[in-house]
Amino acid sequence: MKSKPRFRIDGELREETALPHVWSRCIGAGRANEALRADWQRQFAEVVAATGVEYLRFHGVFHDDMFVYRDSYGGGFGPDAPLPSPVYTFGYVDKVFDFLLDLGVRPFVELGFMPRALATQTETVFWWGAHCSPPKDMARWVELVERTVEHWIGRYGPDEVRQWRFEVWNEPNLVPHFWTGTKTEYFELYEHTVRAIKAIDPALKVGGPATSVFVPDDRYKGETEDRSAALATAAATDVDALDWRPVWIEDFIAWCAGRHLPIDFVSAHLYPTDFAYGANGEAVHITRYADATYDDLTLLRKLVQNSPYPEAEIHITEWSTSPSARDFIHDTPFAATSITRSYLKCATLADSISYWTFTDVFEEGGAGIGPFHGGFGLVNEGGIHKPTFHAFRMLGRLGDRLLLSTPDGVVTRDSRTSAVSAVFFNYPEDMAMKGVAARGSYPATRALAELGPARRIRHSIGGLRPGGTFLVEILDWEHGNAAEAWYRLGSPLNLSRAEHDHLGGVADALLRYTLTVPDDGVLDLDVELAPWAVMSLTQAA
């Protein structure tokens, strides 16, 4: 048996540990219907090729524009005629799921939202009109879930569908936006849904409650949100000193345990932000410290391990620097550095941390205005790569065995090929461990570029093949920053083809050079990283 190579990092033989690629386990997208677009599909295929994403989660698989649940039918002129019983059609959903599976990506199925014909309320959320109320007939909801899951098993086979995850709803604590019922009504929805799915196949994986953020108060302790409980949070002078805890998780676990309901995974959203309503009724926008995601995950992991479901997976099914699709930080290197730092620090704390989202083709508020509008995506609507795209690409090149971990990055080995790779970054000291706060315009982000100082990265890697070459890639303010190039063009709202091509070239023009391993087999890495830079080192030959 061939022995594994031993590498000396900074002159020392290092014991390896596992490095789960939590960043590529799952990623988010807006809604199912958007996945029917040709540009969406091209962008997703590119993201998969660059990052190795394994699962995709999105809203709206049951939304009316996917035409799954039909209780009436017509030709578009005049009212539809009622059908004698509901009909279930999966043509649109099949197109989306076939596309994903053909790419080697599995669905992380979010079961929602409510078809209009089943909704108890007709008020909607988003430009595309999601119905977020409990069902007016739970039996009909259960039948919808049953027919859907049975269809997927019939089309793709039980062995495939057993690899999927089924998440019941999305952010039900946010009443009336994503749920118009109570906490108990959501728990009842989960109970009926998980029983229905497990009756079809006990091996199918179901979980929840997909609640949003952590809070340091009791606003979500009751059946619906009590904004008065957040007054102290809104008035706090040091929010990072408060006791931030997950929403509904402990109540959800207790409810399920008391009814002997299965929980295959616990899901939550971990945006490191909050919107607490103050005494004047206005929301106070809170940005937490840089390690908020790490601390929240550490607590969540402890809660699950000490619960009646210690083996439950932990999936963070939405995560980003903020929950706003109009936050211009998303377009910048500041986001790239922030997420790189958090992913590397949190890699062993969850089974997935799903970045929200891979693309700016995202219509909750309608299409964004302009090519850079603060959308969540790794790529903009036109397919131009943002700095976060390159951060994900660099993380995806890391190996699965950790040779060195520092506050500024990691050195890894691939267990299959033994290739050595590394990622380092400079989250500026001037940030004083503060998180990157949302900005409502691109010019408002630019002051962050003045923070510092630069950081010198110096390490040696021994045990390499003499003459081997390594590629160094550096993303920073001057390299790979398409939004800044757009700003310097005068921030045109609508791009010419020439402008689009120019920005696409700027987006991918990272600083690149190669290093050659000398005869002693020791590669000396000595790089000065500008503030907010992210660097990768990959074995080229």
DSSP string, 419-471: -EEEEEE---GGGTTB-----SSSGGGGGGGG----EEEEEEEESPPTT-EEE
The predicted-structure confidence for 137-172, as pLDDT tens digits, reads as follows: 999 999 999 999 999 999 999 999 999 999 999 999
One domain for residues 395 and 423: no
- Is 3 among the domain residues? no
HEC string of 60-95? CCCCHHHCCEEEEECCCCCCCEEEEEEEECCHHHHH
One domain for residues 408 and 437: no
**Residue 100 neighbours by CB under 8 Å, 6+ apart:** 35, 56, 106, 107
One domain for residues 78 and 124: yes
- Structure tokens that stand for 350 in this block: 């969850």
What was the pLDDT predicted at 4? 65
Expressed as residue numbers, the domain containing 402 is 17-413
One domain for residues 336 and 437: no
One domain for residues 432 and 394: no
At position 48, the amino acid (one-letter code) is V
Last residue of a domain, one of 398, 413, 428: 413
Whole-prediction pTM: 0.96
One domain for residues 426 and 402: no
Whether the per-residue pLDDT at 383 is higher than 70: the answer is yes
Q: Please tell me the least confidently modeled range out of 78-82, 298-302, 404-408.
A: 78-82
Last residue of a domain, one of 413, 444, 479: 413
Give how many domains the chain has, as a whole number. 2
What was the pLDDT predicted at 1? 44
**Cβ-count burial of 141 within 10 angstroms (0-12 exposed, 13-18 middle, 19+ buried)?**
buried
pLDDT category of residue 300 using cuts at 50, 70 and 90: very high
* 105-124 mean pLDDT: 95
One domain for residues 389 and 467: no
- Is 1 among the domain residues? no
- Is 2 among the domain residues? no
171: annotated active-site residue: yes
One domain for residues 269 and 386: yes
One domain for residues 49 and 70: yes
One domain for residues 336 and 459: no
Please say whether the beta carbons of 387 and 336 come within 8 A. yes
**Residue 105 neighbours by CB under 8 Å, 6+ apart:** 48, 53, 54, 55, 56
Please say whether the beta carbons of 104 and 48 come within 8 A. yes
One domain for residues 387 and 428: no
- Is 380 among the domain residues? yes
- Is 260 among the domain residues? yes
CATH number at residue 26: 3.20.20.80
- Structure tokens that stand for 411 in this block: 């050195």
Phi, psi of 384 (to 5 degrees): -75, 135
Q: Name the average pLDDT for the chain.
A: 96
Whether the per-residue pLDDT at 3 is higher than 80: the answer is no
pLDDT category of residue 68 using cuts at 50, 70 and 90: very high
pLDDT category of residue 106 using cuts at 50, 70 and 90: very high
Last residue of a domain, one of 413, 442, 468: 413
Regarding predicted confidence, which is higher, 460 or 122? 460
Whether the per-residue pLDDT at 134 is higher than 80: the answer is yes
One domain for residues 385 and 426: no
The predicted-structure confidence for 420-446, as pLDDT tens digits, reads as follows: 999 999 999 999 999 999 999 999 999
What was the pLDDT predicted at 6? 83
What was the pLDDT predicted at 235? 94
Whether the per-residue pLDDT at 2 is higher than 90: the answer is no
- Structure tokens that stand for 161 in this block: 């569908």
CATH number at residue 511: 2.60.40.1500
- Is 447 among the domain residues? yes
The catalytic position among 34, 110, 171, 225 is: 171
pLDDT category of residue 287 using cuts at 50, 70 and 90: very high
- Is 58 among the domain residues? yes
- Is 283 among the domain residues? yes
Q: Please tell me the least confidently modeled range out of 274-283, 306-315, 474-483.
A: 274-283
The predicted-structure confidence for 484-533, as pLDDT tens digits, reads as follows: 999 999 999 999 999 999 999 999 999 999 999 999 999 999 999 999 99
**Residue 179 neighbours by CB under 8 Å, 6+ apart:** 132, 133, 134, 169, 171, 172, 173, 186
Which alpha helices (DSSP H) does 157-248 contain, by range? 158-161, 183-200, 231-235
